[in-house]
Chains A and B, each alone.
Chain A
């Protein structure tokens, strides 16, 4: 549709007189919003940490009661109690920020109208509660 209008300004790309501020490697510390963003992203590290803990537990279960006993003892150690508490807090941050972001990506239209964000959010929190209760119920049957 028409010709390219100054679409490739090669001569201006490296214009010596224009000032380009370099982006520092510490860009993410320069304002609260960026730092908050990086912290949110780093919650994924604690998610991976717990995935590995669960993998470890699975391996211990498969290798017999002694191995499983060792795993349980490790979970009781101060090191892991601390790690698990910190991980739990970060995983909570992951859940809350994840639920807050989902309505932005998941836009449902029912009979032409957009389903409001709070409904999507509410459904996620409801699912969270129901699934958590189900897990507790199953594991409490001992």
Chain B
């Protein structure tokens, strides 16, 4: 076990450079350290100017997503020991504009998430007097996987279509739309289908599958999108065969 390891971190200071560069720091190696610990060590002891996002440090907030040796990862869940002997390259997530160092702007995702209406849509709200919505374990099972999304955006960084088509709604937004479509309390599936069937929606996805591979919460956004395509196609056939049907 070495006593130190090299961390090559992407730096971007817009006030003095026009392109990111890599700066290498020699940090102590501890076998229980994750990349986030290493970054915090740099900030505390070596270079206070390094900027990066983090919060819960236990894989539930989705703040610390970055590329480690080219793969999108949660830095709070990526052990230094898996990357020996180093150097370990830490870069900001792909396909989002870099604000500074390892910080990227996520406004595009937030806007797209809002577009898919990620909330329970009811034709009529159930009055309080009628009590709570009841849901069986099987009904919960139908959407639970998609509800585990922590909006860490590793999937967007892994999706080449998002890189090539900035208008693409993207894996997490579509998976979250499905989370509500499959919820037995929701009545907004038709509304959401109209939104994601637009040009930049589900039909742009070519099932590369990288989003599912990098997802730290096993949401399987690729699966969500393919299932959505099947639903979209079935609804389209139904609308052809029964044009007068009120859907």
Contact = CB atoms under 8 A, between A and B. Distances in A.
Given A18-B14, A18-B99, A114 B141 contact: yes
Given A23-B163, A104-B220, A18 B226 contact: no
Contact of B94 (A21, A106, A113): A21
Contacts of B22: none
Interface residues of B, number: 38
Interface stretch (A7-15, A49-57, A80-88, A124-132): A7-15
Contact of B12 (A19, A34, A105): A19
B85 to A, nearest CB: 22
A34 B160 contact: yes
B206 A20 contact: no
Contacts of A18: 14, 97-99, 105
B59 interface: no
B108 to A, nearest CB: 9
Interface residues of A, number: 30
B207 interface: yes
Contacts of A9: 107, 111
A31 B70 CA distance: 9
A1 interface: yes
Contacts of B210: 33-34, 37
Contacts of B84: none
Given A18-B105, A109-B142, 4 more contacts: A21-B98, A101-B207, A105-B229, A112-B138
Interface of B: 12, 14-15, 18-20, 70, 94-95, 97-99, 105, 107, 111, 114, 119, 136, 138-139, 141-142, 160, 163-164, 206-210, 213, 220, 222-223, 226-227, 229-230
